[in-house]
Structure 1
């Protein structure tokens, strides 16, 4: 019975982290959607963002697995500190109002820059999860799903609503990652 509740707990953790990481994609989507975006652009951006939300944490998990072998028992503390820093940075960035505004989201390089910018934190989280030997396939597919879904949601909402939603989405995602960092350190 304990094994089932541990698995359910891990699944809930992965889902919540996937949603938290998707908040960056949501925030960016709202910002781009407010500028005006075609449905083809929504599909293109969301697909590339979802792909990067799979590849970046996968690379991070491989790195984290290697680092955990080197660090041993210190790995949990290192993972918690990494999540604290990442979550704190996301909240700080949202409060400062940093936004990428001069990049054309319709070009190949624009799509690539946007996808990388909202997926970099997935790499860091992947490093943390790799230290725990988490379920790799489930984790990266969940992160990819929520990255793509949240970007579609943000792009579509951005087409219809004001710009206040974007910063709050990133701040909420950062707060969730910060909370997980605290839990790992306790």
Structure 2
């Protein structure tokens, strides 16, 4: 897997965090430097940690499913990407009454936007991809996307949040198809 693929996966995974950051900013929760730091740092940190966790879990399962690893990676990315697209199309977004950049709300949001990264880490293990470089890229890209989304959210409001989630889901689905095709045509 090349650097371009890793970067595209990072962009796809960062869409959820960016959508949350955009919505938090548009709602006025990221109005000071501390809130901006908390959102971007935690999203990046969790997006870095979850692929590593998924990768280590995947190593334990590798012996059992190595012959089907490309199908497993494809299905995981399809499910994750499809879920993101469906969530992006949902006209009734969840409303948060509390400041999302503080306390357990921040931790829960960080976990929620990083579950997809766990599945990607599992897929990387099954494909034999080393985890450290992709995880660093995913974490840094997510932090950067969160910072950018906060800035955009201040100017454009929450209407772009769901579109970003849809784009992220489509990117993950595309990567899943690419992985499957590369393995089937090899």
TM-score by length of 2: 0.90
| Alpha-carbon offset, residue 185 of structure 1 | 2.5
Deviates more, 1:106-115 or 1:73-82: 106-115
> Alignment partner for residue 114 of structure 1, among 109, 112, 118?
109
1:65–1:132: 8 Å Cα contact kept in structure 2? no
Q: Secondary structure at the match of 1:45?
A: helix
Q: Secondary structure at the match of 1:89?
A: helix
| Alpha-carbon offset, residue 100 of structure 1 | 4.6
1:61–1:136: 8 Å Cα contact kept in structure 2? yes
Change (3 A) 1:64 1:100: farther
> Alignment partner for residue 65 of structure 2, among 55, 62, 71?
71
| Alpha-carbon offset, residue 80 of structure 1 | 0.6
Structure 2 Cα separation of the partners of residues 65 and 102 of structure 1 = 40
Pairing 1:139–2:134 present: yes
Structure 2 Cα separation of the partners of residues 51 and 162 of structure 1 = 25
1:81–1:185: 8 Å Cα contact kept in structure 2? no
> Alignment partner for residue 33 of structure 1, among 25, 44, 47?
25
Change (3 A) 1:104 1:162: closer
Structure 2 Cα separation of the partners of residues 122 and 103 of structure 1 = 25
CA displacement, residues 107-151 of structure 1 (integer Å, 9 cap, x when unaligned): 211111121111111111111111112121101100100111111
CA displacement, residues 142-165 of structure 1 (integer Å, 9 cap, x when unaligned): 010011111111112111112221
Number of equivalent positions:
178
> Alignment partner for residue 125 of structure 1, among 120, 123, 146?
120
Equivalent residue for 2:184? none
Equivalent residue for 2:43? 49
Deviates more, 1:77-86 or 1:104-113: 104-113
TM-score by length of 1: 0.90
Q: Secondary structure at the match of 1:131?
A: helix
| Alpha-carbon offset, residue 85 of structure 1 | 1.0
Q: RMSD value over aligned CA atoms?
A: 1.4
| Alpha-carbon offset, residue 29 of structure 1 | 0.7
Gaps of 5+ in 2: 182-186
